[in-house]
Structure 1
Amino acid sequence: MSFALKVKEEIVSHSFTHIQKQTFLCGFIKSNGEFIYTSTGIKLRLSTISNRIARSLLSMCKEFFKGEIQIAIIQSQSLKKQKTFHLTLIGETEAFLRDLEIYDFNNHKNIAVNETVLKTDDLLRAYIAGMFVALGSVNSPETINYHLEVQFKDLESAEYFSQILNKKYDFDFKILVRSENKIICYIKKSALVSDFIKLVDAPISVMEFENERISRDLVNNINRIQNIDIYNQRKTTSTAEKQTKQIHWLKEQKMFNALSDRIKILANLRLANPEMSYLELAQAMNKKGHKITKSGISNIFRTIDKIAGVDHEK
């Protein structure tokens, strides 16, 4: 089962109040409902690939719909052999949609969500959850790219959805028009994806998402630190090789004894310990009674560099 389907099934597994069910249905039907025009009237078809979601929708519809509900299961011919569950509402469809304030048959358009829903947090969350369960998707947290989207058939609905989420909850949904009947509202920031899953009341999925995200971030940080350590070690080794060559050159040129005692002690320490960092060299010098800092070590090697006649590499 995909992570997106886990989130959706967790959403419908919760207990909804009567009005929350109504609001959830409103969001779902607006995004997923399909009209079927026949000689006997209008039928309404709702579709899902989840048996659990289909059963939840059937239970909710029975509370509000007075007509007949037909159930059909379509087996795909693809390799995955995926099943699609169709609920077809027959009979009092127009009255049902008017009561739920979903569709305006006079103007042939979806009705904007009720102002009471917009002002009531738990109802608005149920409405958004219905939309997401209908046509939403979210990448598994195990993937590299974080992505959550809700698909719409028209630009007006997509803009309306993103406006509600961005204004009310400070999300940053962006709109992508893939085709005339396929408009996507999406977010990619991991924190926003997590917040949305929390908003639609899927706490177990939030925990799974956050645990995977934290684990990945921890691994990335460890790898980053290791890469920095490797780089620093290589840099120390390269610098030490250059300094060792300069010190040997000074000795070959009989110039070494002209150096101060402090410089000679540090130079011999470098020859004996080519792997030491400046901090470790400073600590070794302090043990020998020569108080010095990392900056002082760096200055002495600059002096050696100048005497040896080699440009110092910063």
Structure 2
Amino acid sequence: MSFSATIKKELTQLEAKPCCRRAELSALVRMNGSVQPKPGGPVVEITTENPSTARHVFTLLKQLFQVQPEILVRRKIRLKKNNVYMIRLSEKTAWILSMLGIFRKGSWERVEGILPDLLKKPCCKRAYLRGAFLAAGSVNSPDSGSYHMEILSTYHDHSQGLLDLMNHFHLHARMIERKKGYVVYIKEGDKIGEFLNIIGAHPSLLRFENIRIMKDMRNSVNRLVNCETANLNKTIQAAMRQIENIRLIESEIGLENLPPRLREVAETRLRHPDVNLAELGQLLPEKVSKSAVNHRIRKLNEMAEKLRENGKTSDEPSST
């Protein structure tokens, strides 16, 4: 079962107040429903590929409006050949659609956006988002490489309503147009976690946050290891250059001819090629700070560079 399917199964098991059930069912019917003209009167058909969502819609219709919808199961012919569940409602359709804020009372005129009466209470706002996610929402698995949550809706005005509703909870949601409609989406991992909390998917939220924390910890450890490795490589390369310079001075001048402080640092570096400057300072006969060691090493490096320059000058043929 996918992560999105797991969330939807959890959401259909939540207990909600009547006002919240109405808001949740309104989103489900508006986004997954269609009105079909029939000889005996218009019929509302709500379709979904999720069996838990289908049972949930059936239960909500019975609880809120005391009707007995039909449930039909069909199988897709193409692609994944999943089952498609259809809840067909043929009684009180006009009244139910007006009560759900989808059509205006006494007409078949569609209500634009989301009816404000459905969102009077904070719990109803959460329930509407829950219904919208059940109808057409998806979340990337937290094990995947990226964070993404989206809800697809056909109409621009309704998608704008969803966008405003999400951003009422400061979720930093955005909207984009696609071929089949408009997508309201969230890209930030922490905001997706907040969305799951808002709609009541708490077990999935815990799993999502646990995996996200583990990923962040692994990334932090990797960054630290990479940083330490880079620093270690720099220390080794610097030490090798220092040893090369000291060997040059030893062959050209002799370490015994250096001032005492420079000789101590040079001899100690040759004996301990793998330590950093701070550790090198602690190994000297008289312990000194890292900056003092760095100053002496710099003197040795300058001395070696002068020897190289003098060697190059002496090798050049004299002009006649």
Taking structure 2 as the reference length, the TM-score comes to 0.90
Cα distance, 1:143 vs structure 2: 0.2
Q: Which residue, out of 277, 286, 289, partners 2:286?
A: 289
Query: Do the aligned residues in 2 keep the contact of 1:67 with 1:93 (CA within 8 Å)?
Result: no
| Structure 2 CA distance for partners of 1:22 and 1:38, relative to 1, 3 Å | same
Secondary structure of 1:137's counterpart equals: strand
Q: Deviations over 1:62-89 (max 9, x none)?
A: 1233554111111223564421211011
Secondary structure of 2:200's counterpart equals: coil
2:146 is the counterpart of 1:145: yes
Q: Deviations over 1:190-212 (max 9, x none)?
A: 00111101110011000000111
Query: Aligned equivalents of 2:12 and 2:203: distance in 1?
Result: 13
| Structure 2 CA distance for partners of 1:310 and 1:276, relative to 1, 3 Å | farther
Cα distance, 1:266 vs structure 2: 1.5
Query: Do the aligned residues in 2 keep the contact of 1:64 with 1:96 (CA within 8 Å)?
Result: no
Query: Aligned equivalents of 2:85 and 2:303: distance in 1?
Result: 84
2:225 is the counterpart of 1:229: no
Q: Deviations over 1:261-310 (max 9, x none)?
A: 2221121121111111122112223xx223x2222222221111111117
Query: Aligned equivalents of 1:249 and 1:3: distance in 2?
Result: 65
Q: CA RMSD in A?
A: 1.9
Match of 1:126 in 2: 127
Cα distance, 1:122 vs structure 2: 0.8
2:255 is the counterpart of 1:256: yes
Aligned length: 306
Match of 2:111 in 1: 110
Query: Aligned equivalents of 1:43 and 1:78: distance in 2?
Result: 26
Identity of aligned residues (%): 25
Query: Aligned equivalents of 2:118 and 2:46: distance in 1?
Result: 22
Q: Gaps (5+ residues) in structure 2?
A: 308-320
Q: Deviations over 1:175-224 (max 9, x none)?
A: 11112x42111111100111101110011000000111111111111211
Q: 1:112-261 alignment to 2 at 5 Å?
A: 112-166=113-167, 168-179=168-179, 181-261=180-260
Match of 2:318 in 1: none
Q: Deviations over 1:213-247 (max 9, x none)?
A: 11111111121111112211211111111100100
Match of 2:52 in 1: 52
Secondary structure of 1:26's counterpart equals: helix
Q: Gaps (5+ residues) in structure 1?
A: none
Query: Aligned equivalents of 1:200 and 1:18: distance in 2?
Result: 16
Taking structure 1 as the reference length, the TM-score comes to 0.91
User: Which has the higher mean CA deviation after the structures are superposed, 36-45 or 256-265?
Assistant: 256-265
2:5 is the counterpart of 1:5: yes
Q: 1:66-105 alignment to 2 at 5 Å?
A: 66-78=66-78, 80-104=80-104
Rg: which structure is higher?
A: 2
Q: Which runs of 4+ in 1 moved over 6 A?
A: none
